């Protein structure tokens, strides 16, 4: 079965640079979520999109922005990078209902490991 | 605000034995979902099992089962016949209906001893 695709898998940037992370949800999934996981921490919700509209916002810095495009893929743009932005960034997707009737189950991509030097 | 608590930072079990990971949560919602995710050393987040709050029957997935106690707001994961591949960080997570964010617990690191 198709899974969530994230690119790139690894990214190294300098402080104050800009990074763009991409997420391709599972086909026919209508909601995309972004999470940030620091070393030794649990994932923290950043932002989500339902049908290309922002649906919820968490602890996302003002330096970060995101959007969902007409083909449902999403991009997380991060500017003025700081050392503390080094983390694993997950994208997850869900559908109100899948083939087994289960709703609101989020499936995660492999993550993008961002290192800021 | 909803919170999820995993009180066991680390657990270990002998291969082929059974282990139970604990999770409690706090919510004022009546309709919600609970999950266990597994994060192996690859750091991929893998769904293990899911429970709908309106269902009284405990969810099971092969060797994995949950003990869902709604009144006590408790959601433990039992792993039977533990295998070396079960070694991972396990996260308990909560969400409400309607494509809402997941709230995670702090995680429990499970070690399997051969």
Using CB atoms, pick whichever of B45, B95, B101 lies closest to residue A108.
B45
User: Per the CB < 8 Å rule, is B106 touching A45?
Assistant: no
Give residue B56's pLDDT band: very low, low, confident or very high (50, 70, 90): confident
How does DSSP classify residue A26? P
Give residue B90's pLDDT band: very low, low, confident or very high (50, 70, 90): very high
Q: How many CB atoms lie within 10 A of CB B109?
A: 15
Q: Region A16-44: what's the mean pLDDT?
A: 95
Which positions ≥6 away from A31 have C-beta within 8 Å?
A25, A48, A49, A50, A51, A55, A93, A94, A95, B99
* DSSP-derived 3-state class of residue A95: coil
Per the model's pLDDT, the better-predicted residue between A77 and B96 turns out to be A77
Question: pLDDT tens for residues A56-76?
Answer: 999 899 999 999 999 999 999
Tokens of B36: 């266990």
Round to whole Å and give the CA distance between A5 and A93: 10
Tokens of B94: 């909560």
User: Per the CB < 8 Å rule, is B37 touching A88?
Assistant: no
Query: In a mutagenesis test of the B interface, which of A106, A107, A113, A114 is the best target, namely the one with the most B β-carbons within 10 Å?
Result: A106
Which positions ≥6 away from B63 have C-beta within 8 Å?
B79, B80, B81, B83
Q: Region B85-99: what's the mean pLDDT?
A: 90
């Amino acid at each position: 079965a198709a899974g969530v695709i994230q690119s790139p898998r690894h990214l190294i940037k300098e402080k104050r640079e800009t990074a763009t992370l991409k997420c391709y949800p599972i086909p026919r999934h209508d909601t995309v979520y972004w999470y940030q996981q620091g070393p030794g921490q649990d994932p923290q919700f950043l932002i989500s999109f339902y049908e290309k509209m922002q649906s919820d916002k968490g602890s996302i810095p003002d330096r970060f922005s995101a959007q969902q495009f007409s083909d449902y893929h999403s991009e997380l743009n991060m500017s003025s990078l700081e050392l503390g932005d080094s983390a694993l960034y997950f994208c997850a997707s869900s559908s109100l209902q899948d083939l087994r009737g289960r709703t609101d189950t989020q499936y995660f991509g492999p993550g993008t490991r961002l290192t800021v030097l | 605000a909803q919170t999820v608590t995993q009180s066991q930072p680390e657990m270990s079990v002998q291969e082929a034995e059974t282990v139970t990971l604990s999770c409690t949560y706090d919510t004022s919602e009546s309709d919600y979902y609970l999950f266990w995710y597994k994060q192996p050393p690859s750091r991929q987040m893998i769904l293990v099992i899911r429970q709908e709050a309106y269902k009284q029957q405990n969810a099971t997935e092969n060797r994995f089962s949950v003990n869902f106690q709604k009144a006590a707001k408790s959601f433990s994961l039992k792993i039977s016949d533990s295998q070396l591949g079960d070694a991972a960080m396990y996260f308990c997570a909560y969400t409400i209906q309607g494509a809402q964010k997941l709230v995670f617990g702090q995680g429990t690191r499970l070690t399997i001893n051969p």
